[in-house]
Amino acid sequence: MVRIAMVAGEASSDQLAAHLITALNGHLPQAKYYGIGGPKMQREGFESLWPAEMLAVRGYAEVLRHYRSITRMRRQLLSRLLKDRPDVFIGVDGSDFNLWLEKRLKRHGVPTIHFVSPSIWAWRRKRMSKIVQAVSHILALYPFEPDLYRNTTVECSYVGHPLADMIPLEISQREAREQLGLAQGRQVIALLPGSRQSELHFMAETFIETAKLLMARYPHVLFLVPLVSRETRKQFETALWKLKADEMPFTLMFGHATEAVAAADVVLVASGTATLETALVGRPMVIAYKMSPWSWRLMRGMRYLPWVGLPNILAGRYVVPEFLQDEASPENLAQALGNLLIDRQACDAIVRVFDSIHRLLRQNTAQKAADAVLPYLQKA
């Protein structure tokens, strides 16, 4: 039996890995998948030896608080994998956790595949030597990434981004509003404050204060807030109560981020994969992000690019506004969102750029990734 070990610790990684498992199962229906993964992977038959939520922390300060439990789990997983050797190991994103594992597994003859190139094009470029030591093959989501590995021993395959395959090239706002029971003529703003509790800790109140300022200018506006878990919903509801905003027109949703974004006129979104999803749906956005002051000081000094939002990185220029840390004030965010609400010409230009990005990333990612993995399994 073919044995495939995987680690995917976050919601976006869980989705990537689940699609890959589905594609691999088309070729290897009896394969066994095990390691650390989330609910979508488990629905595809994956055996998770630890809860994936233990890895869903972000930022230096947050990681340090969980350092002992994370490193203990990683050592135990390595011991398990060396004893119960997989035919291939696939680390899905999570480079700080997975590269450590991959280096040691590769040293013991296990082929190591890293799905999602670490963002060495954006920050921490010195990681390249660590990647070369740890990884046999990179599966890259973005077309500019294979060139980064051209003069190394690491193979790199551009496979596109699965969200570009999943999301239609055109999504009707009218149909999205009908599905959600929203009036067609009403102004709608989607608020995506993040998928992690640590993100809401820093951004929920800022997003709500921004909504209050917008409400003063646009009294008939409606706010859609898709949240990924009961915990994050409770956090947001607590912030609403604290800021005396619980009577405002907020519609909190369990998931359904794509539907919320499709129904919106503009979107306020925390930096991360959600910015790409918003671009693929084709809605103008403002990007914001906050983290602990200590994490921000460290991260700011490691950046290579002037942008952090994926739509701007893929376009190679500022297409949508970005506000980070202290600049992510309710006043700045409300002004930028208000500008988009009234400037339809600017919004149309943004959407045209998003359409180009969507077509570039639409590559049948799961099958391309499976095609890159299969030769390692055939050797096994």
pLDDT tens, residue by residue, 96-153: 889 999 999 999 999 999 999 987 765 556 778 899 999 999 999 999 999 989 999 9
In CATH terms, are 3-160+363-379 and 173-361 the same topology?
Answer: yes
Q: d(Cα 85, Cα 272) in Å, to the nearest integer? A: 34
- How far, in Å, CA of 168 to CA of 282, rounded? 10
What per-residue string of b and e applies to 129-148 under the rule 16 or more CB within 10 Å gives b?
Answer: ebbeebbbbbbbbbeebeeb
> Residue 274 contacts by C-beta under 8 Å, 6 or more apart in sequence?
192, 194, 195, 257
Q: Considering the domain delimited by 3-160+363-379, tell me its CATH architecture.
A: 3-Layer(aba) Sandwich (3.40)
Domain 173-361, CATH:
3.40.50.2000
Q: Domains of the chain: which residue ranges?
A: 3-160+363-379, 173-361
Which tens digits make up the pLDDT trace of 258-294?
999 999 999 999 988 899 999 999 999 999 998 777 7
pLDDT for 164: 96
Compute the CA torsion angle 304, 307, 308, 314 (nearest 10 deg): -100
Q: What is the pTM of this model?
A: 0.82
* pLDDT per position as a tens digit, 228-244: 888 889 999 999 999 99
